[in-house]
Each structure stands twice: as C-alpha cells, then as structure tokens.
Amino acid sequence: MRILLDKFSKSFGTTSVIEDMNLEVGSGEMLALLGPSGCGKSTTLFAICGIHRPTAGRILFGDRDVTNLPSQERNVGVVFQSYALYPHMTVEENIGFPLTVRRVAASDIKKQVAGIAALVHIDNLLDRKPSQLSGGQQQRVALARALIRRPDVLLLDEPLANLDAKLRLEMRSEIRRLQKETGITAILVTHDQVEAMSMCDRIAIMKSGEIVQVATPSQMYQDPRTAFVAGFLGNPPISFLKGKAAHGAFVSTDGKLQMTLPALSGIADGTALTLGIRPEHFGTAGNVPVEGKVTFAETQGRENLYDVVLPDGSVIRSIQPVRDDVTLGDQVRWGIDSKSAFVFAEDGTRL
Amino acid sequence: MRTSRTLGMVMIAPAAIMIFLFYLMPVVLTAIFAMTNMSTATGISGGAWQVTASAVNRLKTTLPELANGIAEPRFVIDEDGLKELEALKLKPGFATELRAQHIGGVYPSRREAERDIKALKDRPNTREVKQISDIFNRSVLNTRFESRDALMTSLDKLGFKLTPEQQQIVSDATYTGWVWTSENFSTIANSPDMLQILINTGIYVAVTLTLFNVTYALFLAVTTHYMPSNTASVFRAIWLLPRITPVVIYILLWKWMTWDNGFISLFLAQFGVPPKNYLLDSAYNAWFFVILINGFIGASMGMLVFSSAIKAIPQTQFHASEVDGASRWQQIRYIILPQLRWPILFVTCYQTLSLLASFQEIHLSTRGGPGKSTEVWSLAAFHTALNNYTGNLEYGLGAAMALVLVVVGLVLSLIYLRVFRYDTLISKPLIED
Amino acid sequence: MSEKSKASANFSSIPVIALLGLLSLPLVVMYAYLILDTVTNSEPGSLVPNEFTLEHWKFLWETRSGKSSIWLVTLNTFIFTCCITGVILLVSSMAGYVLSRLNVPARGFFLAGVMVLHAFPSVTLIISIFIVLQYIGLYNSLIGVILVKAAIDMPLGIWLMKGFYDTVPWEIEMAGIVDGASRFTVWRRLVLPQIKPAIMALGLFSFLTGWSEFILPQVLAPGSQVQVLSVYLASLIADDNNFDFATFKAVGVFYVIPVLILYVFFQKHLMNIYGGGTKG
C-alpha cells in the first residue's frame, strides 16, 4: 500500500518539529528515514502509526485519509526499539494479541500465530515468556506481532539498536527477507547509514525536521544533494576542504590546491566553497596531486586507512588496498580524482 | 484526544467524587460551622425560643424591666383569670372562693398553685385542678415556643408592648438554636487556654520531630547501615512494629509499661520504689511518655527513607573513604550526612504535617492530661467538638480550631510542593489519541 | 533479603549492634510480655510468670454481658477492612492511571490536590463528616465509615499508584494501541498486569491500616452492632469495672495476629510503602 505524507507538520506546544513535509512511499517499497537523533524521524513514524496527531497536513494510506484516525483503526504494524513485548504474556499470546483484541476466534488465532511464527522461525518458542528469550528472538516475536494481522504498513523504529553486532547483521537480512516475502510497505527509522543503505529500497535523509533528499542508496551516495547528505553517508566518512572559486576552479585557502571543475563554470570568483572528497577518491590513482603528511594510519585487514594533513592544516582521508610502504609521519604526494569530487556552496548545497 | 479524555474522566470520576464528598464538602462545612455557635445545646438542625433563667439574665442588662417582668413567678390569681374561670361554668364556688381567699396570690410553681386549688371547699377533681391552674398561668418563663411569633404573641398578651428592636433583642436572647457568629475566632485569639494549647503543640511537634523523627531515625538508619544485612533487617523490623501495630494495642502496651500496676512500677518495686502511674502523675512525665510514644512510631518512616538513601550511595564511596583513612564518625560526617540532605528535608516537612494532625495516640494514652498539660491543637479540636466529659460538644468552636489546622496544613503543603519541585512530576502523555 | 550489602570489614559491627539492642529493649520487652501475659499468671508484684493458663482467652467462647460477641466483632472488622481495601484499590488504580498517563483537563491541578490532601489533618474532616453523616443517615453504619476511611487513605493510594504506573514503559502502551486495543483494554490487559506487585503492596497497606483504624469507627459508628475490634478493645480498656491487663492483652493479641502474620510474610513490600512509597 502506498503511503503519502502531504504537507505534514508537527509541533509540540510551541516547538515546531516538522514543517510541511512531503513524502511518498511506494507500495511494497521499504524506505529508510535516516538522520541524526532529534531530526524528527521518530516523530514522523509516530504520526504515521497514529500515536501522534499531525498539527497540519494529511497522511494517506493508499487513497484512504487516515490523518484523524486513531491508531486502533489504522492497521499498522510497529516494531519498537525496545520491542515492547508484553512481559506477562507468552510468546504465543504476544503474537496473537492484535487478533485477540479484534475478537478473532481462538482457533483461528492459534492457526495464524503458528503460521507467522514459522515465517519468523520462532515456532519452537511459543510457550516462553519474553524474559526467557534472547534479544534476537524478542525481535522476531515483535516482528511476528507486527505482521500477524497483515498491516498496510510496517514501521520499524531503530529495530537493530539493541542487538549486538553479529545479531544485527543477521536480523538485517532477516527483516529484509520478511519484508520481501510479505510484500509489505515498510518504513525503517534509523540513525545508522549502513542499516539504511543495506536494507532499504530508498532512503529519505532528514535534518532538523526536513527531508533533505530522497533517493536509492547508490544514487544518494554518488549524487548527494548537500554537504550534509555527503557527510552522513559513507564509512569512513567524506573529507571536506575549504576554499574559494577562481576562474572556474576550486582553490584551497592557501592556494596550493587548484582543481578545475565543470560545476564551477559561471560561479563568481571569490565565492566560498567546500570541496568533498570521498576516501576512495584520494590515493595513488587521482589526477590532481596533493602533498601532505600522514598523521594517521590504520589497517582494516583488506584495506588501509590514512589521514593526510595538508600544509594549510586541513585533513583528507584516504582508503587504499593494503600496502606497507607508507608509515606514520611520511610525506606523501597522492592525487584526488577530480571527476568524483563534490563541490558545495557555503550553505551546503551541491553545485 | 477525545477517547482517552473521556476514558480519563470516567476513570477519575470515583476519586473525584470521593474527594468532593469527603474532603471538599467537609472543609467547606467546617468553614461554615466555624462561623456558628453550634453545640450539643443548640443542636445542629434548628432551635426554639425558650425563656430560660439564663436568657432572662442576658436580658437584664439591655431590658431590665422586661427581664424582671418575665422573671415574675408563674401563677397569679387575678381578676382576668377569675373571669375566665367563671366563663368556664364549672362549680361557681371555685371562682368565689378563690376571689375571696386568694386574690393577688402569687405562686412560683404549678405545684404550689394547685395545692391551694385542690384545697377549695368544693373539691375540684384532678382534671379541673389542671384546668383552673392553666387559667392562672401568667408567665412565659421556662415555656418553649416553636416560633418567634408565638413568643411575641404571648408576651403581648401579658402586656409587654415591645418595639421591633426590643423584640429582636428578646428573640436573640431566648433562641436556643445555633446562630452565626465570629465569636469562635475571637475565643481562639484571646483565650489563655488556647495559647497554652498552641505552646503545647509547638513543643510536641518540635521535640518529637527533632529527637525522634529525624535524629533517632538517622541514628537507626546509620547504625543499621553498619551491620550485617540480616541483623539490620531484624532491627528495622522491630522499629517498624510501632507503626504496624494497631494504635489501640500499641497504647495498651505503653499503659502496661507506665501504669501503677505496670512494668516500670513492678520493676522499681524490687528496689523499694513505691508504684505510681508514671504516665499521668506529673506533666513532666506525661510529656516524656507522649513524646516517646509518638517518637517510636515516627522514627520508622525516617529510618526507612534514610536507609534507602544510604543504600543509594555508591559502595565505592565508602571503600574509597576507608582507604583514605576515614574513621566511622568521619565517614558518617563527610559521606553519609551530606548526601542525606534532601531526604532529611523531606522527612522534616512530611512529619511536621503528620505530627500536627496526629492526636489518636495522645487521646488514647493521656487524653491530654494530667489536666490539660498534654493537650495539643488537633486533640483539643477533637475534644471540643466530639469528645469531652462535660457533654456539651461545641461543634462550632471545634470546627474553628480545625479550620486553623486546615489553613496551616494547606499553606505548609503548598510551600513543600514548591520546595520539592512538584512540576517535574507531571509529564506530558506521549500518546495523542 | 535478596541483595545483601556487606557491612564494612573495616568497622566492627558489634558495638552498634549492642547499642541498638539496648535501645530496642523497651519495645522487645513490651511485645514479649504482650504475648507472654496472655497465657500465664504471675504472683502480684512479680514480673516472672509462675503458671500457664488459658483463662485470659475465655473471651473467645464466653461473651460478657453488655458486650458483643468477639466473633461478630471480628466479622465486622474483616468486612470493614476488606471493603476499605477494595474501594482504595479500585479507586486509586483507576485514578493513578489517569494521572500518570491520560490526557484529562486539570491533571496537574488534580495531582497537586492529591498531594495536598495526602497530608490533610483528619481531625478537620472528622468533625464535619460526623455532622454530615448524621444528616444523610449514614451515621452509625459501617458503610459510612468505610467510605470515609477509604477516602482518607485514597490520596496516598493514588499517589503510589501514579508512581508505579510511571515506571511502565510507554512503548508497551504504544504497542497496545497500534495492535488495535482501546485505551481501556490497554490499561486492563497490558498495564495492570505489570503493576501487580504494586497493587499487592497497596492492598496490603490498606488492609493493615483498615484493620488498625480506631478513631473513625469510634466517632462515626459507635453502635455495638457495627463495632470493630479496635473499638471493642478500647471500650474494654475504658471499662473501669473489669480492669485486667492480661485479658486486654489476650484480646489485643487476638486482634494483632493477622497484622503480625501479614507483616512477617510481606515485610519487604511494607517497608517499601512505609518508607519509599511516601517519597514525594
């Protein structure tokens, strides 16, 4: 089912959290709401499931306007960060609860619970209490409970935040598998870009109550609209250099680095600029040479990571295949791949 | 918002109704009663007009003539009455003989008047005697009138011509029901008894609070802290007993302890000390035990609050201070006490109110005695309004005293709400449905 | 006790135990003799019992003239206490939830009101309630006293329950409503089960205070048909003709036994309420 937020605004008292937000999630699509904490992504999620009411604007499920419907009538499934399992009920009662409150016949509930439990692989745990389950198992119960009544939309609020690293990896693919198998429209709220990029069809990046960009993960990585987006995606993160425009080229503050970029044609000389270089675009292969001193070197097994300090004090990160000829303190002369460099205006918009 | 609001209203309704019925109404009524002179004598519903001796006394200052008139004895053999008697057409001898023998005769009571009537030669029967004496009833003294008008008519018949103002004075003086008055408050403000009670209350609250509810509670919390936890819980259990035990039994135990056939007397008798009632023999002893009785109950709350506060202090602080060479006293002085500041303030505030309001223990043990030496404010209010030996329960005065307590309690608790940052306790509901 | 905090190894606990033991002696003596005196006799003027007897307990099977049967009084007390407990639990568990979670007008005001009422001098209420009950005809009836007693303990109940509800995670309720349950169902089926220990503790507390209550039944329902144990015992003691500490104590023990049993078994719950529960 398609989800549409139309000029959605939300404020608490006098604090406005979200203003005039528009967002469309296609039917069967999984979308990530990605952003730092406090950017309004959880507020958006709570508004979609009806725990919060929008101050203005509309929320549509398909063609149905649910803006003023209470949660109980919206048919949404939610997996909370803490899972919010009912501690006094068994796994079976937990999963069946959404049906119980709809007064579905007990035998039907049992059948459906068995089915959904098999789907999330917890059919052997039905008699346990939540406190007797591991984090991953609790997560599966929460998923099963959210899915059992075939909701129009599945909302996941930081579902992996409370898991350890290994389980996180496992549940990442598990959630994606379930979403694909059920064909349900899903929205994932997270502050972890890896989660967003690996699990979702599209990502909506949010910053202080606004959606900065909506795109597929690869589009967003390769074509960030703002410096914020470029900085948020990618690990290790992108490096930024300060400079000015001069004759269609980017010139660093000390003037030593000059890079002609097609995006800069028609930009007035002296305009303040920020250059963004991803670590993989700075290394031996780059076309614009830069000299600096290695102040940080770390191997990650397959690749090495370096920080290079330029004469003006700014730092560029580099990631390269493993090599052992460069050590801390070495003077290096590597190149930036100018085709892949991003240049941003002072307000952060990409040029 | 609608559904949860409706549900909320429904769910809070029972509590609201109970608060209305048993807190708001009583407080309002207390305020109303405080403005009246209601007592057992006046009743609580309404009254009548009765020319009692004391009403006459009251009248003597303002209307002495009338007062004397009313106070005149009751039965007078006069011409009016004789005429009336003749009109009744009983035996004519009655009137003739009365006129001849007793004209102008004055009888202070019905009995004496009827003795003379009975002695008439024509021997009136009992019914006639009563009939005749009624005719000569000439006084309103000790007569009860159900309405003001009845009284006035009667006075009028007797020849007392009263101006409306005088009527009002007579009516006020003879009314037996309750009336509006602010006398209660002037009594409270001026009576030396009240001053004594106020001083008693101050001593009682201050001494019990400082010695037991705070100091001894601290002592209990700190000493049990320095014990193995099993021993500590035994002591805490012992010291919680006074609070758990029903008050009637608890006081019974103290009576057994202090009375002349009780433990202290028996124990000291082994050393030749004559037995006596230690609870009531002197004001000093009475105060000693009243404070002990209340203090033993009061210590437990502080003990528990302080104990859990001490438990909340990270163990590492104790370890560190011991490694730093602190003695036990220094540990108490520099680690424990500074971190108990808020709990101590809280207990002090809370227990001040509890002590101000408490009276059951004193009522059951000393009853405020000996004399009135251990009478405290709330007990005095209770005694005045609901429970005293004289039998005249002064609801009005008692209510006024209670009202003083309400005002003090309200002001104190509002201050406490400020001090303890009450506003941080309300959080906004997170579900907007 | 589950969490054992060890006393410091650097300080001996013997002196404090000895000191506190000494100070606790009066209480221990009082309670020891409370039990002892009911089953023994001693020589006049002596504190050491010399014979075992059950004569002080004969009030159980003999009703004194002019007094109600102890069993009727006990039944009264039991009904009285259970009703109080029921009313307090019902009213405070509902009101506490509203104050903790639901959006009602004047919620903050109500909560502040509850806190102020919590410390209300009960003597002020008794005087006018006495008169009110006489007016409405509930004077000398247990129902009247039950309502009044429940009302007086209710602010504490509401306050405690509000505190316990505050500890239930919001997510549980959010999950409940997105699962399609109404707020009432959420309260009944999801939230109430989480605070069972709190309900238990409050119930216990209400039972104990109800069982112990003296002044309210004494003033508001002094009639012999509605007598409760506290009033019965007090009238026994106040009756100068039959002065006998041992019998008083036997009645007292009979009266206090349920309290002591509950106390022994649920000491921890009670400590929470009497100490922590009253925290502002």
What are the chain B neighbours of A50 within 8 Å (beta carbons)? Answer: 433
Ranges of residues in chain B whose predicted pLDDT is under 70: 1-2, 44, 46, 69-74, 108, 139-140, 157-159, 433
What are the chain C neighbours of B357 within 8 Å (beta carbons)? Answer: 119-123
User: Which pLDDT score, from 0 to 100, does residue C280 have?
Assistant: 32
Q: Are residues A228 and A246 in the same domain?
A: no
Whether residue A128 lies inside any domain: the answer is: yes
> Least CA distance to C250: which residue of chain B?
B249
> Least CA distance to A52: which residue of chain B?
B432
Q: Are residues A154 and A226 in the same domain?
A: yes
Whether residue B432 lies inside any domain: the answer is: no
Report pLDDT digits (tens) over A17-67. Answer: 898 899 999 999 999 999 998 888 889 999 998 888 899 999 999 889 998
Q: Is A79 on the interface with C (CB under 8 A)?
A: no
Q: Is the dihedral of CA C236, C239, C241, C246 positive or negative?
A: positive
Q: Are residues A143 and A274 in the same domain?
A: no
- Which residue out of A42, A49, A51 would a mutagenesis test of the B interface target, given it has the greatest number of B Cβ atoms within 10 Å? A51
User: Which pLDDT score, from 0 to 100, does residue B2 have?
Assistant: 62
In this complex, which of C169, C180, C181 lies closest to A82 when CB atoms are compared? C169
Q: Are residues B214 and B166 in the same domain?
A: no
Q: Do B223 and C19 touch (CB under 8 A)?
A: yes
- Percent pLDDT > 90 in chain A is 45
| Residue B109: half-sphere exposure toward Cβ, Cα within 13 Å | 3
Q: Are residues A171 and A285 in the same domain?
A: no
Q: Are residues B389 and B242 in the same domain?
A: yes
Residues 6+ apart with CB under 8 A from C197: C269
Q: Are residues A54 and A175 in the same domain?
A: yes
Residue B340 to chain C, least CA–CA distance (Å): 13
φ/ψ of residue C121, rounded to 5: -65, 115
Whether residue B195 lies inside any domain: the answer is: yes
Whether residue A350 lies inside any domain: the answer is: no
| Strand pairing class (B75-76; B106-107) | antiparallel
Q: Are residues A205 and A125 in the same domain?
A: yes
> Least CA distance to A70: which residue of chain B?
B433
Domain boundary among A232, A264, A294: A232
Read off the CATH number of the domain in which A209 is found: 3.40.50.300
- Which residue out of A72, A85, A94 would a mutagenesis test of the C interface target, given it has the greatest number of C Cβ atoms within 10 Å? A72
Q: Are residues B261 and B301 in the same domain?
A: yes
Whether residue B383 lies inside any domain: the answer is: yes
What are the chain B neighbours of C113 within 8 Å (beta carbons)? Answer: 19
The pair of structure tokens assigned to A104 is 């579905």
Q: Are residues A190 and A68 in the same domain?
A: yes
Q: Are residues B147 and B279 in the same domain?
A: no
In this complex, which of C169, C182, C185 lies closest to A84 when CB atoms are compared? C169
Q: State the pTM of this model.
A: 0.82
Does A107 score more than 80 pLDDT? yes
Ranges of residues in chain C whose predicted pLDDT is under 50: 1-5, 277-280
Q: Is A150 on the interface with C (CB under 8 A)?
A: no
Does A172 score more than 60 pLDDT? yes
Read off the CATH number of the domain in which B375 is found: 1.10.3720.10
Whether residue B87 lies inside any domain: the answer is: yes
Whether residue B11 lies inside any domain: the answer is: no
Q: Are residues B130 and B258 in the same domain?
A: no
Q: Are residues B94 and B201 in the same domain?
A: no
Report pLDDT digits (tens) over B246-273. Answer: 999 999 899 888 887 788 888 888 888 8
What are the chain A neighbours of B1 within 8 Å (beta carbons)? Answer: 53
What are the chain B neighbours of C131 within 8 Å (beta carbons)? Answer: 29, 33, 44, 395
Q: Do B249 and C233 touch (CB under 8 A)?
A: yes
Domain boundary among A207, A232, A257: A232
In this complex, which of B3, B428, B431 lies closest to A51 when CB atoms are compared? B431
Cβ neighbours of A305 (radius 10 Å): 15
User: Which pLDDT score, from 0 to 100, does residue C2 have?
Assistant: 34
Residue A100 to chain C, least CA–CA distance (Å): 9
Q: Do B3 and A70 touch (CB under 8 A)?
A: yes
Whether residue A351 lies inside any domain: the answer is: no
Report pLDDT digits (tens) over B314-367. Answer: 888 888 888 888 888 888 888 899 988 888 988 888 888 888 888 889 998 888
| Strand pairing class (A153-157; A185-190) | parallel
What burial class does residue B157 get, using C-beta atoms within 10 Å of its C-beta: 0-12 exposed, 13-18 middle, 19+ buried? Answer: exposed
Q: Are residues A31 and A167 in the same domain?
A: yes
Query: In b/e form, how buried is each residue of A317-328, taking b as 16+ CB within 10 angstroms?
Result: bbbbeeeeebee
Q: Do B431 and C219 touch (CB under 8 A)?
A: no
Instruction: Say how many domains are in chain B.
Output: 2
Q: Do A53 and B1 touch (CB under 8 A)?
A: yes
Q: Are residues B216 and B298 in the same domain?
A: yes
Query: What torsion, rounded to 10 degrees, do the Cα atoms B181, B182, B188, B191 define?
Result: -70
What are the chain B neighbours of A51 within 8 Å (beta carbons)? Answer: 430-433
Residues A252 and A243 sit within 8 Å (Cβ to Cβ): yes
What are the chain C neighbours of B318 within 8 Å (beta carbons)? Answer: 8
| Residue C251: half-sphere exposure toward Cβ, Cα within 13 Å | 27
Query: What torsion, rounded to 10 degrees, do the Cα atoms B273, B275, B278, B281 define?
Result: -100
Q: Are residues A36 and A63 in the same domain?
A: yes
Q: Do B430 and A53 touch (CB under 8 A)?
A: no
User: Mean pLDDT across the stretch A222-251?
Assistant: 89
Domain boundary among A214, A232, A250: A232
Average pLDDT, chain A: 89
- Which residue out of A43, A52, A66 would a mutagenesis test of the B interface target, given it has the greatest number of B Cβ atoms within 10 Å? A52
Query: What torsion, rounded to 10 degrees, do the Cα atoms C190, C192, C197, C201 define?
Result: 170
User: Which pLDDT score, from 0 to 100, does residue A106 have?
Assistant: 92
Domain boundary among B174, B209, B242: B174
Q: How far is B159 from B143, CA to CA, in rounded Å?
A: 17
Q: Are residues A72 and A159 in the same domain?
A: yes
Read off the CATH number of the domain in which A244 is found: 2.40.50.140
Q: Are residues B240 and B360 in the same domain?
A: yes
For residue A102, what are the domain limits? 3-232
Q: Are residues B231 and B92 in the same domain?
A: no
Enumerate neighbours of C (3 or more CB pairs within 8 A).
A, B
Whether residue B84 lies inside any domain: the answer is: yes
User: Which pLDDT score, from 0 to 100, does residue A142 have?
Assistant: 93
Q: Are residues B266 and B386 in the same domain?
A: yes
For residue B63, what are the domain limits? 49-174
pLDDT category of residue A141 using cuts at 50, 70 and 90:
very high
Whether residue B22 lies inside any domain: the answer is: no
Domains of chain C (ranges plus CATH)?
14-53 (no CATH), 70-278 (1.10.3720.10)
Q: Do C178 and A49 touch (CB under 8 A)?
A: yes
Q: Are residues B232 and B156 in the same domain?
A: no
Instruction: Say how many domains are in chain A.
Output: 2
Give the B-side interface with A, CB within 8 Å: 1, 3, 428, 430-433
User: Which pLDDT score, from 0 to 100, does residue C279 have?
Assistant: 37
Q: Are residues B160 and B268 in the same domain?
A: no
